[in-house]
């Protein structure tokens, strides 16, 4: 009995840090409508800065002062980020905001390694809370007890802040209707900045307070952000109380999940999240969002099937690509095969995003499942390659069927967060379930059979599959199913009123996209001869998003071009520098700032300008983005 109580207390202690970070994310989202992906990065920075400050400053004041100073310092960084970056993109599509903050996260990951080195850092113990207290015959670290008290105290302080100060009342009002707040004479700019600063302060404080409990390392950000996404999805975005309750729930599920499923405790959290989403799609304390802002640039121009000339151009392109082995060396062919595989991957996400209007932030899950599918079949069942290639993607299909069922219940940023959380769950399983997946060591030596071995043959295989998959996806786009799917994207209500089962169609689209990604993953396993949890990682999911956005969401061929350009660039970057994340993150941020409406949105704006009723009014519109929603 005592053991369970102590386990419960440990859960509560973890819940406090989780709550701090999640409440910050919630407040920021409530007012600015930005889902701050970089929240995990700020948490991690808080921990690193606190590590340095508490090492430098001595004594009890030094420790606690260091914690608070660290949170303040990171909050200042947050304020700068808001003023220099986010202010430029408040009127951009949600997807771009998520991407921009993701780019920041990538940069921070490399920056902390640059500054603090790659090794885990063990922080100082908190003065006055070094020992343990004996309870029920077990030792409970006294710092855990401190954290347990801290959570509700912070909840109380936040409550007072939001109900007893003018700032708090303005924040609550803006959470509900920020344009009305502006129409009452409140300068939104500073409200947004202060809210962002406050949210980042909470995240950094959460990170700083973890240093006596946990080692500081450069992967903290993704771990916490996924848990926090799960917390806010369960609790309801924008609700502080919801964040608290859900943080306790998730932390306890983790604490007890370890006892039930020692290797894959995250499954328990997933199950609970699934149940909550079915019962209350907006979370326990959330409110249904007004129809999510459409991702502009998605529905501007109806698609045309290829014209005769385009068909010829396409055929010539394929023939030229097929001739590559005549001139290119082995390395170039391996790169070529990889690019072909990523064309498949990007095209599958593009299908989901542009035709279905569903922007998945965890598409790598299905790519990775396809790769693991092949690995299991080839290594464990020892099946021939052609069978593995045919059946491997089925794992992607199953994954997409299960996760997709839940994900399509939501839309907009909730959909993005949920798909991301699912992908991270798949990643955790691959990483933690060592007996089956090999964990971090992956599954090795999955080599193609002779008919496909050798760079040229494998390249041809990949190219052929890529052409087939992209062609098939196009056929689906222009089929009745494709039109129905576009209907659900453009107006869910209308399409349901004319008898289309929208959810079913979206689910099918999700499964198609997941299967296509799985096909890419299957090939990838043979290309690399191995599979690793990284094949499911968030990094890969975001690569896919960048490829789609780079090429243009609108054009059918966009994903193909985007994949070729992006993949070639990133392979080259990785070969040139150790700090590829820093540069890639920077590039993503720049793209988002340079094309705040998306590349296609940009082209639309140019077109609109040239035939607007008056160029002056368009200029006026551009200079006053606020209130234009």
Partner 1 sequence: MKLEVSGLNSFYGQAHILFDVALGVGAGEVVALLGRNGAGKSTTFRSIVGLVAQREGQIRFEGHEVAREPTYAIVRKGLGYVPEERRIFTDLTVEENLEVGRQPKRDNAAYWTPDKLFTLFPNLGEMRNRPGGRMSGGEQQMLTIARTLMGNPSLVLLDEPSEGLSPKIVEQMANAILTMKKEGVSILLSEQNLHFARLISDRAYIMERGRIRFSGTMAELEARPDVRDQYLAV
Least Å from the CB of residue 623 to partner 1: 8
Task: Measure CA 405 to chain center.
Answer: 18
Exposure pattern of 453-484 as b/e (b: 16+ CB <10 Å)?
eebbbbbbbbbebbbebbeebbebbeeebbeb
Instruction: Give helix 393-407 / helix 266-279 axis angle, nearest 10°.
Output: 40
For residue 187, state whether it binds partner 1 (rule: CB under 8 A): yes
Which residue, 185 or 262, is less far from partner 1 as judged by CB?
Answer: 185
Residue 118 in 3-state DSSP? coil
Contact 197, 79 (CB under 8 A): yes
Maximum CA extent, the chain? 80
Q: How far apart are CA 588 and CA 79, in angstroms?
A: 20
Residue holding tokens 């202010």? Answer: 87
Interaction mask 114-153, partner 1, x per CB under 8 A: ----------------------------------------
Contact 378, 388 (CB under 8 A): yes
Which residue, 450 or 624, is less far from partner 1 as judged by CB?
Answer: 624
Q: Among 74, 76, 75, which residue's Cα sits nearest to residue 51?
A: 74
Q: Single out the residue of 139, 330, 577, 617 in contact with partner 1 (rule: CB under 8 A).
A: 617
Least Å from the CB of residue 243 to partner 1: 16
Its sign, for the CA torsion 489, 495, 500, 501, is positive
Contact 512, 351 (CB under 8 A): yes
Which residue, 176 or 576, is less far from partner 1 as judged by CB?
Answer: 176
Using CB under 8 A, count the residues that bind partner 1: 32
For residue 157, state whether it binds partner 1 (rule: CB under 8 A): no
Which residue, 326 or 628, is less far from partner 1 as judged by CB?
Answer: 628
Interaction mask 188-207, partner 1, x per CB under 8 A: x-------------------
Which residue, 181 or 599, is less far from partner 1 as judged by CB?
Answer: 181
Q: How far apart are CA 92 and CA 101, in angstroms?
A: 13
Q: Hey, what are 453's tokens?
A: 């071995």
Which residue, 56 or 616, is less far from partner 1 as judged by CB?
Answer: 616
Least Å from the CB of residue 165 to partner 1: 10
Using H for helix, E for strand and C for coil, what is the string for 531-589? Answer: ECHHHHCHHHHHHHHHHHHHHCCCCCCHHHHHHHHHHHHHHHHHHHCCCHHHHHHHHHH
Least Å from the CB of residue 617 to partner 1: 5
Q: Single out the residue of 279, 319, 320, 628 in contact with partner 1 (rule: CB under 8 A).
A: 628
Which residues, in sequence order, are bridge partners of residue 140?
A: 133
Least Å from the CB of residue 277 to partner 1: 24
Q: How far apart are CA 197 and CA 204, in angstroms?
A: 10
HSE of 165 in the Cβ direction (CA atoms, 13 Å)? 9
Least Å from the CB of residue 607 to partner 1: 12
Exposure pattern of 181-208 as b/e (b: 16+ CB <10 Å)?
bbeeebebeebbbbbbbbbbbbbbbbbb
Which residue, 125 or 189, is less far from partner 1 as judged by CB?
Answer: 189
For residue 160, state whether it binds partner 1 (rule: CB under 8 A): no
Q: Among 426, 511, 89, 29, which residue's Cα sits nearest to residue 226?
A: 426
Least Å from the CB of residue 238 to partner 1: 10
Site for partner 1 in 597-616 (CB under 8 A): 612-614, 616
Least Å from the CB of residue 622 to partner 1: 9
Q: How far apart are CA 123 and CA 108, in angstroms?
A: 20
Q: Hey, what are 527's tokens?
A: 């290309």
Q: Single out the residue of 113, 215, 571, 618 in contact with partner 1 (rule: CB under 8 A).
A: 618
Q: Among 522, 539, 627, which residue's Cα sits nearest to residue 186?
A: 627
Which residue, 91 or 580, is less far from partner 1 as judged by CB?
Answer: 91
Interaction mask 399-428, partner 1, x per CB under 8 A: ------------------------------
Which residue, 23 or 101, is less far from partner 1 as judged by CB?
Answer: 23
Which residue, 183 or 316, is less far from partner 1 as judged by CB?
Answer: 183
The H or E element spanning position 133 is strand 132-135
Least Å from the CB of residue 158 to partner 1: 15
Least Å from the CB of residue 173 to partner 1: 5
Q: Single out the residue of 59, 137, 185, 302 in contact with partner 1 (rule: CB under 8 A).
A: 185
Site for partner 1 in 165-184 (CB under 8 A): 166, 169-170, 172-173, 175-177, 179-184
Least Å from the CB of residue 625 to partner 1: 7
Q: Among 431, 80, 399, which residue's Cα sits nearest to residue 226?
A: 431
Q: How far apart are CA 625 and CA 629, in angstroms?
A: 8
Which residue, 434 or 620, is less far from partner 1 as judged by CB?
Answer: 620
Which residue, 139 or 615, is less far from partner 1 as judged by CB?
Answer: 615
Least Å from the CB of residue 30 to partner 1: 11
Least Å from the CB of residue 171 to partner 1: 10
Q: Hey, what are 370's tokens?
A: 């396809």
Which residue, 318 or 612, is less far from partner 1 as judged by CB?
Answer: 612
Contacts with partner 1, residue ranges (CB under 8 A): 166, 169-170, 172-173, 175-177, 179-188, 612-614, 616-618, 620-621, 623-628
């Amino acid at each position: 009995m005592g053991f369970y109580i102590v386990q419960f207390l440990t859960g509560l202690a973890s819940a406090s840090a989780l709550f701090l970070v999640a409440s910050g994310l919630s407040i920021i989202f409530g007012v600015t409508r930005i889902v701050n992906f970089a929240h995990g990065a700020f948490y991690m920075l808080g921990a690193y800065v606190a590590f340095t400050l508490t090492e430098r400053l001595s004594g009890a004041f030094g420790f606690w002062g260091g914690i608070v100073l660290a949170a303040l310092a990171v909050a200042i960084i947050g304020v700068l980020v808001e003023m220099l970056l986010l202010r430029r993109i408040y009127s951009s599509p949600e997807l771009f905001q998520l991407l921009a903050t993701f780019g920041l996260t990538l940069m921070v990951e490399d920056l902390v390694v640059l500054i603090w080195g790659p090794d885990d850092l063990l922080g100082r113990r908190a003065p006055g809370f070094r020992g343990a207290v004996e309870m029920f015959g077990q030792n409970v670290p006294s710092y855990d007890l401190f954290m347990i008290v801290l959570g509700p105290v912070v909840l109380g302080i936040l409550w007072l802040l939001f109900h007893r100060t003018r700032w708090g009342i303005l924040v609550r009002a803006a959470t509900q209707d920020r344009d009305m707040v502006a129409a009452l004479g409140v300068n939104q700019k500073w409200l947004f900045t202060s809210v962002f600063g406050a949210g980042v302060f909470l995240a950094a404080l959460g990170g700083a307070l973890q240093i006596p409990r946990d080692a500081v390392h450069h992967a903290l950000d993704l771990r916490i952000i996924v848990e926090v996404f799960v917390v806010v999805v369960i609790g309801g975005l924008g609700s502080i109380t919801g964040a608290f309750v859900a943080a306790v729930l998730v932390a306890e599920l983790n604490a007890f999940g370890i006892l039930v499923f020692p290797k894959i405790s995250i499954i328990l959290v997933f199950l609970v999240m699934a149940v909550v989403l079915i019962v209350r799609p907006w979370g326990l304390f959330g409110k249904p969002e007004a129809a999510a802002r459409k991702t502009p640039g998605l529905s501007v121009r109806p698609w045309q099937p290829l014209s005769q000339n385009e068909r010829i151009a396409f055929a010539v392109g394929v023939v030229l690509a097929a001739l590559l082995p005549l001139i290119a060396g082995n390395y170039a062919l391996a790169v070529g095969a990889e690019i072909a595989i990523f064309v498949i991957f990007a095209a599958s996400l593009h299908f989901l995003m542009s035709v279905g209007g569903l922007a998945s932030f965890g598409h790598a899950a299905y790519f990775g499942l396809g790769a693991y599918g092949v690995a299991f079949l080839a290594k464990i069942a020892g099946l021939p390659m052609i069978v593995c290639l045919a059946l491997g993607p089925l794992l992607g299909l199953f994954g997409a069927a299960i996760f997709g069922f839940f994900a399509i219940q939501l839309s907009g940023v909730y959909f993005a967060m949920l798909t991301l959380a699912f992908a991270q769950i798949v990643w955790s399983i691959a990483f933690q379930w060592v007996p089956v997946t090999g964990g971090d060591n992956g599954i090795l030596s999955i080599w193609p059979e002779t008919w496909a071995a050798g760079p040229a043959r494998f390249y041809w295989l990949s190219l052929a599959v890529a052409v087939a998959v992209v062609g098939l996806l196009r056929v689906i786009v222009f089929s009745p199913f494709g039109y129905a799917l576009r209907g659900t994207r453009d107006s869910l209500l209308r399409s349901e009123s004319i008898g289309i089962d929208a959810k079913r169609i979206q689910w099918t689209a999700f499964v198609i996209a997941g299967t296509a990604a799985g096909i890419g993953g299957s090939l990838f396993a043979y290309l690399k001869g191995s599979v690793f949890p990284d094949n499911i990682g968030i990094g890969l999911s975001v690569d896919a998003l960048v490829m789609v956005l780079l090429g243009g969401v609108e054009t059918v061929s966009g994903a193909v071009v985007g994949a070729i350009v992006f993949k070639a660039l990133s392979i080259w970057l990785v070969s040139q520098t150790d700090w590829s994340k820093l540069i890639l993150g920077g590039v993503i941020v720049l793209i988002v700032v340079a094309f705040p409406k998306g590349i296609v949105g940009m082209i639309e704006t140019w077109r609109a300008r040239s035939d607007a009723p008056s160029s002056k009014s368009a200029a006026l519109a551009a200079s006053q983005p606020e209130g234009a929603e």
